[in-house]
Amino acid sequence: MSEEDLLDHWVYSKNVIEFVTVAHEYCTFVENYAALSRSAFIDTAHKIFPLLYLKACLLPDIDEENADTPEKYLSEVDYNFLLGKISAKLGQFDSYPEVFDSGMQFSEEAISDNISENICDIYQDLKDFIMVYRIGTTELMADAVWECKNNFTTYWGQKLVNGLRALHAVRYGEISIEDHDQTPKINQSPQAKNENWVSKHFNNYFDEDETR
């Protein structure tokens, strides 16, 4: 297969490339948690969650009967370390009541979830996806997109929706985030630029939509 034919493969399509870009930005955002104040972290998560959901929805429906499960890169130790750091970053705003848990109908007590767990579960899948995609082999890239789209529809897409509901309540709630923010703010940190990138991406998307 020629290089031109390879570039015509759907893994290089506009929707896939845009999803890869947002997935990379999401992973960068999570990994740079320490550079953000609590309020800036929550504000960025609140903006990137719906953007990631939109881009995942636009991934092509792939019928890959022979697709292989891509290699996993994020270890359980790394996941738990990151989960602890993100949970500490969110503090009292981490926990929220869960209303879409299938076990609720059998439970007499309220079921809660954590924004930090939502963030890290999504990160785990996207980090593995990005690592495989970087290899640059078309077959592996196709398997990675198939795996990611499948996991989105069956698992972390719901986590995005649930987490966004919680983030919205925190972002626009009566309790001031700034009053509980103990994290030192770093001007023009690498992640501050990512926060601006998310807002810019949203603006560009809706500007394009108005011209259609």
Domain boundaries, the chain: 3-210
pLDDT, position 8:
75
What would be the CATH architecture of the domain defined by 3-210?
Up-down Bundle (1.20)
Give yes or no for a contact between 201 and 48, defined as CB atoms under 8 angstroms apart.
Answer: no
The residue that leads in pLDDT, 206 or 171, is: 171
Q: Residue 202 has what pLDDT?
A: 46
pLDDT greater than 90 at residue 186? no
- Pairwise pLDDT comparison (107 vs 16), residue with the higher score: 16
Task: Judge whether residue 123 has pLDDT over 80.
Answer: yes
Work out the mean pLDDT of the chain and round it to a whole number: 82
From residue 185, alpha-carbon distances to 32, 87, 107, 119 in Å are 13, 18, 41, 21
Q: Which stretch of 116-120, 131-135, 159-163, 186-190 has the lowest confidence by average pLDDT?
A: 186-190
pTM above 0.85, yes or no: no
**Closest C-alpha among 187, 197, 179, 196 to residue 35:** 187
Contacts of 25 (CB under 8 A, 6+ apart): 48, 194, 197, 198
Are the CB atoms for 59 and 16 separated by under 8 Å?
yes
Model confidence at 205: pLDDT above 50: no
Residue 68 pLDDT level (bands cut at 50, 70, 90): confident
How far apart, in whole angstroms, are the C-alpha atoms of residue 77 and residue 67?
A: 28
101 with 162: CB under 8 angstroms? Answer: no
Q: What local confidence, expressed as pLDDT, does residue 62 receive?
A: 76
Indicate left, alpha or beta for 8 from its phi (over 0: left) and psi (-120 to 50: alpha). Answer: alpha
